[in-house]
């Protein structure tokens, strides 16, 4: 099969997107359809994306997919490939956040978070790779976060799932490059999406000892400037249309200064303790 990107920067693309029902997933799905691309849109509830079929009957395939069910991931990816004849972009966007301190969250809460944010993503990737290798090209995208590089209180487990997400994709990028497959990690900052709603959040059972601290953190979050999610599709299109897409892409203007500061602090600490570290070499 001919690589669609060999002859020109933009040609009609075929997307497979998880979490298409709301938030970034919904915006990016509709934006791709509006520009004339074809999309296999997936969601846990088909009725939540049924209107896409009405608006774009020729260009969209709607599929039920709970990414925590590996057999569903395999079926959905293969159904999309069979329907469109190829997959140019496989975009893992499904995910949610767990709110609670490290002490509060139960093993069941943590396990469920990882089942979606990490293992669900891996199921989609593992289902897609044989097909992408067969066609000789493809682009795997995954929605991480600026919090894939640092951690905030109360969402430490969510941040940890994104740190794992980052490591998996960085390793994947090196492993699949010889097959002509690109990998890009999309790292949004704070945006005014539904991600902060109850639909995208799970809450650990609270402990009174943390009540005041939580209130302080929530008050700071209220004052946080949020980006406009509708301003993001063009950035995504620039990445998928690029012949040499980046491994990582920040969305928004706040990530770079915040993460630069965090890494400067880390480097300073490692330098300060360099003598101790070097002595441990033996």
Query: Annotated catalytic residue: which of 144, 145, 160, 161?
Result: 144
CATH of the domain at 42: 3.40.50.720
> Would you call 64 a catalytic residue per the annotation?
no
| Helices 70-84 and 121-135, packing angle to 10 deg | 30
Confirm whether 136 is domain-assigned: yes
Q: Please check whether residue 52 is in contact with residue 30, taking contact to mean a CB–CB distance below 8 angstroms.
A: yes
Cα–Cα distance between 176 and 88 in angstroms, integer? 15
Side-chain-facing half-sphere of 205: CA atoms under 13 Å: 3
User: Per residue in 37-71, pLDDT tens?
Assistant: 999 999 999 999 999 999 999 999 999 999 999 99
Q: Which of 97, 137, 162, 191 is catalytic?
A: 162
Question: What global pTM score does this model have?
Answer: 0.92
In a domain, residue 99? The reply is yes
**Domain-located, residue 280:** no
The pLDDT-based confidence of 2 (bands split at 50, 70, 90) is: very low
Q: 3-class SS at 16?
A: strand
The answer to the question of residue 81 being in a domain is yes
Task: Tell me, yes or no, whether 92 lies in a domain.
Answer: yes
Q: Positive or negative, the Cα torsion across 261, 158, 223, 22?
A: positive
Q: Can you list the positions of beta strands (E) in 71-111?
A: 89-92, 97-99
Domain carrying residue 239: 14-251
Give Rg (Cα) of the chain: 20
Instruction: State how many domains the chain has.
Output: 1
Q: Given 3-state DSSP classes, what are the helix, strand and coil percentages for the chain, each rounded to the nearest 5? A: 55, 15, 30
CA dihedral sign, ordered 51, 114, 199, 235: negative
Tell me if residue 162 is catalytic: yes
Residue 272 domain-assigned?
Answer: no
- Burial class from Cβ neighbours inside 10 Å (0-12, 13-18, 19+) for residue 277 reads exposed
Classified as helix, coil or strand, 196 is helix
Q: Is 74 a catalytic residue?
A: no
Which tens digit of pLDDT belongs to each residue from 143-186?
999 999 999 999 999 999 999 999 999 999 999 999 999 999 99
Options 56, 137, 158, 191, the catalytic residue: 158
């Amino acid at each position: 099969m001919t690589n669609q990107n060999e002859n020109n920067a933009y040609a009609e693309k075929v997307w497979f997107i998880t979490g298409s029902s709301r938030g970034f997933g919904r915006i990016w799905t509709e934006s791709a359809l509006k520009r004339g691309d074809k999309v296999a849109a997936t969601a846990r509830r088909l009725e939540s994306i049924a209107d896409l079929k009405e608006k774009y009957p020729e260009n969209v395939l709607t599929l039920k997919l709970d990414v925590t069910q590996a057999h569903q991931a395999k079926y959905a990816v293969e159904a999309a490939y069979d329907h469109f004849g190829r997959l140019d972009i496989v975009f893992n966007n499904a995910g949610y956040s767990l709110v609670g301190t490290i002490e509060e969250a139960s093993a069941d809460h943590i396990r469920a978070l990882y089942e979606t944010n990490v293992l669900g993503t891996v199921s989609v990737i593992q289902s897609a790779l044989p097909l992408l290798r067969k066609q000789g090209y493809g682009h795997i995208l995954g929605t991480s976060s600026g919090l894939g590089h640092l951690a905030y209180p109360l969402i430490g487990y969510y941040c940890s799932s994104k740190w794992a997400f980052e490591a998996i994709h960085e390793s994947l990028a090196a492993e699949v490059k010889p097959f002509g497959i690109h990998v890009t990690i999309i790292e949004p900052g704070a945006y005014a999406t539904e991600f902060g709603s109850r639909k995208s959040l799970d809450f650990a059972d609270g402990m009174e000892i943390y009540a005041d601290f939580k209130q302080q953190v929530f008050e700071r979050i209220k004052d946080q400037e949020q980006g406009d999610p509708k301003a993001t599709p063009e950035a995504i299109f620039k990445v998928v249309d690029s012949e040499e897409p980046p491994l990582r892409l920040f969305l928004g203007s706040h990530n770079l200064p915040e993460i630069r500061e965090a890494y400067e602090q880390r480097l300073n600490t490692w330098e300060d303790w360099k003598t101790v570290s070097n002595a441990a070499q033996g």
